[in-house]
Amino acid sequence: MNIVQSPNKTARMAGIFYLIFIVTFILASYLRSRLIVFGDPLTTANNIISSPGILRLGFMSELLSALFFVLAAWALYVLLKPVNKNIALLLLLLNLTGVAIECLNALNLFTTLQFLGNASYLSVFSTDQLQAIAMTFLNSYTNGFMITQLFFSTWLLPLGYLVYKSHYLPRPLGILLMLDFFGILGWFLQFFLLPDYGILSYPGLAISFVAEFAISLWLLIKGVKKQPLVDVGK
């Protein structure tokens, strides 16, 4: 794609990809929340056994969100590489690394279904053991999900910087994305270092909610101004 000829087309592609990512990610989170009760393996097991389709749909929604996140990152790379190609490549690599970890980690979620299924080889385990194993995989899924936030926070820093320096996207949006970096990184640190103080992450998550929707909607609706082909890194 030639970004010089169609910057607005690329921007709107990035916007729609980003928006689909957000919607499918929220859907996946909602579906999981309907089934998983951490600290209560019996209730969680009963929920999954009675509604396995919900967990499967949540699993597929997360993979779909990961796909569109990569597509959004690719479109943003194409859009922003005239500003600084090396930094644009960095944001793409950080995104790809996080998505790769996320997809592998999602297998923990799907494995839960296997241990709570009716396969004959599971008869060697007691019901309590199967529930405990399933909950262990769910806990591993949560830990893996939070590991991805290290990469999903870090990619926002070069993204925000490039938006700020671009002159064809609003500078306040770039600042908001860089604040989003600190918000998500703070969530990551709080989860592993201060697990009993989840309230500390709420302000950062609120900023993230605003920033993610702001970048997607701006790109989709407003597009970009005509940009100069100047690499600020030169």
Within a domain: residue 19? yes
If one counts the domains in the chain, the total is: 1
Q: Is residue 229 part of a domain?
A: no
Instruction: Decide if 232 is inside a domain.
Output: no
Tell me whether residue 60 is in a domain: yes
The torsion angle over the Cα atoms of residues 223, 228, 233 and 234, rounded to 10 degrees, is: 170
pLDDT number for residue 43: 86
In this prediction, residues 32-39 reach a mean pLDDT of 84
Could you tell me where the DSSP H helices lie in the chain?
Answer: 7-33, 41-50, 52-80, 85-115, 127-154, 156-166, 171-193, 202-217
Rounded (10°) CA dihedral 42, 47, 53, 55: -70
Q: What percent of the chain has pLDDT over 70?
A: 94
**Is 67 a domain residue?**
yes
Nearest CA among 49, 58, 94 for reference residue 73: 94
Domain with 100, as residue range(s), is 7-222
Residue 125 lies in a domain: yes
pLDDT per residue over 75-114, tens digit each?
A: 999 999 999 999 999 999 999 999 999 999 999 988 988 8
- Is residue 128 in some structural domain? yes
Pair of tokens at residue 157? 């820093």
